[in-house]
Structure 1
Amino acid sequence: MSSAPLSPVALFWRCCLWLILLLALPAQAQFTLGQRATDQAATPHVQARLVVQAPDGIAAGQPLTLGLLLTHQPQWHTYWKNAGDSGLPTELDWDVPPGLEAGEIAWPVPQQIRVGDLLNYGYEGQILLPVPMTVGPDFTPDADGTVRIGLHARWLVCRVECIPEDVQLQVQLPVAQSHGAFAAAFADAQARAPAVSSALTGQFEVAPDGQHVTLQVQGLPAPAQGQELAFYPEAADTFRHAAVLGRDWQQRWDGAVWHATLPLSDMRGATPAALEVVLGLPVAGSSVAEQPPAAAWRIAAPVQGQWQAAQLAEISPALAAALAANQANQTNPTTTAPPASGGSNARSGSWLMALAGGLIGGLLLNLMPCVFPVLAIKLLGFARHGSDMRAQRLGGLAYTLGTVVSFAALGALLLALRAAGEQLGWGFQLQNPMVIVALAVLFTVLGLNLAGVFEFGQMLPSGIASLHLRHPVADAFLSGVLAVAVASPCTAPFMGASLGFAVALPAAQALAIFAALGLGMALPYLLLSWAPGLLRWLPRPGPWMATFRCAMAFPMLATVVWLTWVLGQQTGVDGVAALLALLLALSALIWALTLQGRTRWLLGAVLAALLGWLLPTLAPYLRELPPQEASAASSAPGTALWQPWSPEQQTQLLAEGRPVFVDYTAAWCVTCQFNKRTTLSDPAVLQAFTLRGVQLLRADWTRQDPRITAALEQLGRSGVPVYVLLAPGKAPVVLTELIRPDDVLQALAGI
């Protein structure tokens, strides 16, 4: 006997139970790929292992050294403490018990890595980054005689493209046992560390032109004398690293004294009292670009004289005033007037305007395509209740409470993560590919149910299947939660300014703005539930509801198409294929469970085993991050004119006198995609950009990028889309979220 169809909201309730079971295995697979508490992990380009050197056990006063052992894929590399012209050094965050204290990385000397006209310093092949640990007298092992040490390691791995990666590692060590399995690797790392000698002295002197310094070094050992040495500055922005690729720097020997003339960087800061550098002796018959030096020496040399610090990194008064204006004038993004004074009254007024902006933004969310499937089945729920006004009103209040609580909960999570140091903004949840996968699974199951492929009552105990009948208010509340789940990444007009302002406010005021978003989104349905006259246009319950229910399956599956496209921007085509394979296996399993008799259980068991095998097998393809350039280049038509954004490139272009237009975007932002295919692809707009020599930069926030988050914060925003026109000597112009060609042309006329 077939069971009665569940309400659309009850579908969400049942799907949550399915997701708890179905996502357990992918979560476990994700753990295995780098998040599990283990001493080793593998990313697509690097194998990492947490290793220990404690020959006399772990006790106060005994030597203890930990290390991160990295094994790179061929042609890939990570970076030294000074990455050079590009790149980022590896960072290690330790989780150690009281009594243990981690020191700094004892960096082995790197090799020079030349990429085009750039010179970087990094490591290829296998490298151990040792970290000395201090075991204090207050150290106490666990009750079982062991100690647990955790490490969160982050690095940038590059070939031509660069990919940020990270792993979580942990070891549990018996304190009374000797640990020396990796003694050879620690010995090799120690041999590659630069030597320090009191007999080695040096001195920098600023040249009269203020653009170069000279360095004299005495006390170098005999094997180095007369040889051409490699130069490794520990300060990132003091010297022009790529100068050694040409002849813009010279070195010579005057007896036993080594002399060098070194060009200063255009990004140099103030003159320090001393500079730390490493000099390397190349392996005989090879260059330092082929392998690390055979020997190296570290020198801390005082600086005589003063150079003028570069001014490029400073914010001009016009830019500072414009950023302050953007923060104060949140409801008119094109305004560039300075903020009005007025103390607390002005701040209170800005908060009330941001609150109104949040309410309006929530109302506009109901017009976003990604929200349509949920809102359509909500209207179906109104028709089902018919003339039962009490049920209508309770359902409307519960739905409103669900949206308000969900938006406030997301806002509270965002504020808490930012307070903990995470660089996140609105829509952060969809920057995680596993969240995309979970939503795609949820909407696939909902779509199959709406299409009549299965009924939850066939697969769940009758007590669970009838929960929505016994708890209609909870059913309506969960519908609000579902609506927020798909609506939150759709940043509608007026929301960006309000949310950007909210994250800088005290928690109570910020949460009020998030709650206003939820109230605005639920307001039309709250009014419908309390105004009987507004419901008269809805048809009476009847057979049409079954047809409408099946028709709603297609918007649900269309949402899956959108989510799959978003995942493709994050993980590449392999990630799309992996998700489709999982959804196909899941759909087949659901269909098998609708069969009768032994066929149901035999075929269901086979398909369940297939799904269980696919989850850990395909999980790596759902985590891999493709090159940022590929993600940006595939996001819209006309991308040949666009370049990936970086703060360094933006600064360089403005220093050269070129205006810049920055598109802060993300694949999961529907408004962003609409603007790309309309205004930002308009021939007249593109021609105007070209005629005025404007460089187009695209800041792709599909995956988490702290640099983009920081840039949005400077503009007083917390989500995308954001469009900014920058010109040398002029205040930046921040355009509205839904831009028209006339808006862009008017902004261009002012430069």
Structure 2
Amino acid sequence: MASRTISPYRTRSSAARPLDLLFTLLLAAAACLTPAHAQIVEVGDGGPGPFKAEHLTAELTTLSPQAQAMPGGTLQAGLVLTLEEHWHVYWTNPGDSGEPPRITWTLPRGITASPLLFTPPEPLPLGPLKDFGYEDQAVFPFTIKVDPSAAPGKVHLDAKVSWLVCESVCVPGKAHLGLDINIVKGPVQEPALLGALGNAVKALPRPLPSGWSVTATGGSKDIFLTLHSGTSSSDIGIYPFDQDVIDIDAPDQRNATADGWQLWLPRPKDSTALPRDFHVLIEFSDKEAYDVTVPVTPGEPPAVAASSSAPGAAEAPSSDIGLWGALGLALLGGIILNLMPCVFPVLFLKGLALVNSSGEERSRQRMHGLVYTLGILASFWTIVAVLLILRAGGRQLGWGFQLQSPGFVAVLAALIFFLALSLTGQFEIGLSLTSAGGELAEKQGLAGSFFTGVLATVVATPCMAPLMGAAVGFALAQPPVVTFLVFTMLGLGLALPYLALTMQPQWTRVLPRPGAWMDVLKQATSIPLFATAIWLTWVYGQLYSPNGVDRIVPLLSGFLLLAIGGWFLGRWPGQTKGLLIAAPIIVLAILLPLRKPTVEKLQWQPWTPASFAAARTSGKPIFVDYTAAWCLSCQVNERAVLDSTDIEALLGNNNFILLRADWTQYDANITQSLQTLGRSGVPTYVIYPPGDKSNPDVLPELLTKDLVTKQIDKDLKLSTKN
């Protein structure tokens, strides 16, 4: 069997994967250059094989070389599919698309055959989607059972086998196979588990060992799985037997415990009722696999500890640290949070303000420190209150939940970008945010310190400092009073460095004296802020996947407007004229990425010979999408290209008739239509220019927006000339 990655979840981090669409296109590009042209035919003459089909070889085999079985006994056999390089077939749950192999028997009296059995699969990702299946070689064991009344002699077992083999294009296949077995009176020697079939039999999932246990709790967002196995040394893979129970494309969260694992498996976003049972394959890194069916108990799972997003996390489980441990970790984590690239520039600005205000009264400096701390604590308390209210309403949220809101991410990215512009020296924020100008009146200066504390908290939300994970995980699993205590300690840790300097002014003597170095260092601190703005721009795009690239453009345009507004502020610093010009530009910059475009989806008509004939005589251009639910490449092309705003607008503006030939269930008319185009599988995309006598253009299996746009423009121009 091919070497493989165990888990479809273990290879993914808890953050969204970057550039899913680009990854999809690059992954499939080379493979898609090979179209399938052969006619679909049934291979085999009723013998065991091997028989060569399109992209694989199929055969039936037995463990016993003599294929012998006694009356009342059994014979272990299997279906073996040997695949061409890069092609794959599917597991019993194919994932986002696909169909598992099937076998239909015609058996003599007294002989029965079990269903095909499936060994643990490997994940087959294609961009943002995922299937489960097998590459190189797939072996599906089954058991032949002989009735005690069966007469000795040779008997023939006839089998009709069907499968779906895919690379970037999917091709259904079928074979007529068979086995001749010998029913003998005498004892039959137990065959050794050798060869591909023997390895597959040994790899079949088994019942959970004695002493192990699994429980499942189903909440509004996750199914929480707890495994007690007596050890946490092995990594595990999770494969659901049933579709639409968990979201296989979303990353799971997991926590290694002293005697097993805790897993938060995300449910599909559109799921409603909980399943009664959760049927799952649990596979360990030592190749042991277990078939588990566990009842699902309704109830909200415990909160996800932030440190549990990756297997083998170094931090201790949050439930073991206790209240005092959580408070201590929160305080230390808050202090370290000041060094994070989001927060450090804000702390640095406060340090500059402290250097510049060394001539102020000590009481005045202490007041600035206390107000700054109050701004941080008030912000933390507000976030925790909102978080607890949402969790009480059934939402499963954790630290940084604000980043799940595109609007919040857009405003935060704009704020950080604007602050970075100020640090470069384009203009001075001074009066509005950071108090760095040093010319504040008393009341305004205290207000500046308070809102700088608010700013420090806001820009800290994307960060998770060391030691914070366990403390936050503990806090979110406790009563509200404890949650507020832990987050208060976290806020105090964030405020502590500046607060300590204001409480002990003599410590400021260690700070360098004001000078030109301050401007240079201030400009240098803009670099991590610009980097943070870039990262938040990517997060913003991921929240709108698969059309994230299009949605990033308004945010980047907002950045440009912020730069223009900042120039006006720097052109007339501290003057009403500059503020009046810059203010509407800045407001427009914030509103641009918040505006949600209205997209009207085009309607695809079912392809039939009649609807196609009518479309051909209409004189309008036609776009035909030959697709199937089990075709992963089809789903990627539709999400990334055909359903995109650009292509929908292009098709709609040019009055295309859109026909979708759905080959999910076998349709002889669609098969024949594909063959006339020289194709035998899906995806296939065809453009018929205007005019019923125009020749069709068959597009490659891999679509890009640019490719489709150029082909449509070419066909429409040619039809206009004709």
**TM-score, length-normalised on structure 1?**
0.37
**Structure label with greater radius of gyration:** 2
